[in-house]
A and B are shown apart, each in its own frame.
Chain A
Amino acid sequence: MHHLQVKDLSSAYGPLTVLKGVNFTLAKGETAALIGPSGSGKSTVLRVLMGLNKPTGGEVLIDGAALDYSRPASVRAARERMAIVFQQYNLFQNMSVLRNVTIAPVKIKGRPRKEVEAEAERLLSKVGLADKHHAYPDELSGGQQQRVAIARALALRPQILLLDEVTSALDPELVNEVLDTIRGLAADGMTMLIVSHEMAFVREVATKVVMMDEGLVVEQGPPEQIFGAPKTDRAREFVGKILRH
């Protein structure tokens, strides 16, 4: 059984249809990368999965159970099983690093504060920010903020971690510190769905690549296939362009 299955998923921003029937699956422990040109609907897929955008059709199944995004209880269930890291980090500006990481597990999940704080400290150490517990987001670099955002998502103990272009807002010298963190997570067997423009990184870390264009999945398969011998003309054209640069 697939850990995550996306079937004929469609979504729209008002009159503009962004997803036109997206299909892909994700196995437990797999790292899948969503690639494709800007505006192809990659980020929208993640937003729909998190219930931030409403689907207009199709189905999302986690471990075989369908999620009904029209029901608030089902949306809550989706958010309990998945966590997202945003491109712009979206850390709460009014909270310290530690509180950013602990607030949801304590206030939303009702876990004991002491236990959550100990876990948060472990997670912050894991992302290399053990000394930044009491700092505020505006005191951190973009790369540090993004690593806090990853720790915050992990503190929710998600089954699937969604990463939305987590390096595209960062200065080039800060990209690697975030990519190293994600490499570590992949090595730990975390199930991840990554939207990324870092093709070298995708090739290295992803076990599956899903290429999208104009709201549809054009081709999916292992990175060797997509980057080495794409089967569709569109994938060949896209890969040809990005590999030239």
Chain B
Amino acid sequence: MLLLEAMGTTLAMTAIGCVLGFLIAFVIVFLRQTPGLWALPIRFLAICYVEVFRRIPFLVVIYLVLFFIRSIVSEVSLFTIAVVAICIYSTAYTADIIRGGFESVSRQQIEAARAMNFSRWQTLMNVIVPQSWPVILPPAVAFAISFIKDTALVSQVGVFELTFRGKELNNEGFSALLVFGTIAFLYFLMSYPLSRWGRWLEQRLASSPSQRSKQRLRPAYSP
């Protein structure tokens, strides 16, 4: 029961951190691609964020977040700290995935939108995002799934996630092999269905919009 609860914590941390990270990464990429001289500092900061946080080990990010937040506000839960750390880290990684996706959309598509007076935001939401989705989503999902395992590192600061519970049970006298064997199985149980779903998503997105449209229109049962 304790392990299931810890499993829920692990999944919740990963899901909240990665989804928030993805949304923030989206904004960062948008800012990074802002044209014009006036946006130079914005572009610089966006690039710095991605380049810096991609090169720092996740454990260091966790400690940085822990001590930084605790120095400002003392009453913050470890769960929140873990989510913030995951969010910061996943933002940096997914920003590069999103940027690659946006850049995969041909220049002609963007010019067609500009010629019709689409704003930058309208071009992004109507043309770039729908076309880059198939490029962005599979690696972003793969990153989030692999991150489920990396969240084990937040046990270092005492978050009651799966690995931390394992350590506790082991300290209480349970066999280390049994405890960590069970934990390894639970990590597999969380990751495997999600990675299958990721693969299904990849295959589905690899088809063209016209094929996807036909799949949507196909009746669920045909005699």
Taking A88-B108, A92-B109, A103-B126 as contacts, is the C-beta distance between A135 and B114 under 8 angstroms?
no
- How far apart are A109's CB and chain B's nearest CB, in angstroms? 8
Q: Is A171 engaged at the interface, CB distance under 8 Å to the other chain?
A: no
A52 in contact with B111 (CB, 8 Å): yes
Q: How far is the CA of A90 from the CA of B112 in the complex (A)?
A: 6
Q: Is B222 engaged at the interface, CB distance under 8 Å to the other chain?
A: no
Q: How far is the CA of A50 from the CA of B113 in the complex (A)?
A: 12
Q: How large is the interface on B (under 10, 10 to 19, 20 to 34, 35 or more residues)?
A: 10 to 19
Q: How large is the interface on A (under 10, 10 to 19, 20 to 34, 35 or more residues)?
A: 20 to 34
Q: Is B122 engaged at the interface, CB distance under 8 Å to the other chain?
A: yes
The A-B contact count (CB < 8 A) is 62
Interface of B is mostly: helix
Q: Is A84 engaged at the interface, CB distance under 8 Å to the other chain?
A: yes
Which of these, B118, B130, B209, contacts A108 with CB under 8 Å? B118
Interface of A is mostly: loop
A96 in contact with B112 (CB, 8 Å): no
Q: Is A214 engaged at the interface, CB distance under 8 Å to the other chain?
A: no
Q: Quick one: closest B residue to A156, CB to CB?
A: B116
Residue numbers of B with Cβ under 8 A of A are 108-109, 111-118, 122, 126-127, 130-131, 208-210, 213
A79 in contact with B130 (CB, 8 Å): no
Q: Is A138 engaged at the interface, CB distance under 8 Å to the other chain?
A: yes
Residue numbers of A with Cβ under 8 A of B are 50-52, 76, 79-80, 83-84, 86, 88, 90-96, 103-104, 107-108, 134-136, 138-139, 156
A92 in contact with B112 (CB, 8 Å): yes
A84 in contact with B115 (CB, 8 Å): yes
Q: How far is the CA of A30 from the CA of B79 in the complex (A)?
A: 70
- How far apart are A26's CB and chain B's nearest CB, in angstroms? 18
A sample of 14 cross-chain residue pairs with beta-carbon separation below 8 angstroms, ordered by A number, consists of A79-B117, A80-B117, A83-B116, A84-B115, A86-B108, A90-B108, A92-B112, A92-B113, A92-B131, A93-B208, A94-B131, A95-B209, A104-B118, A136-B213
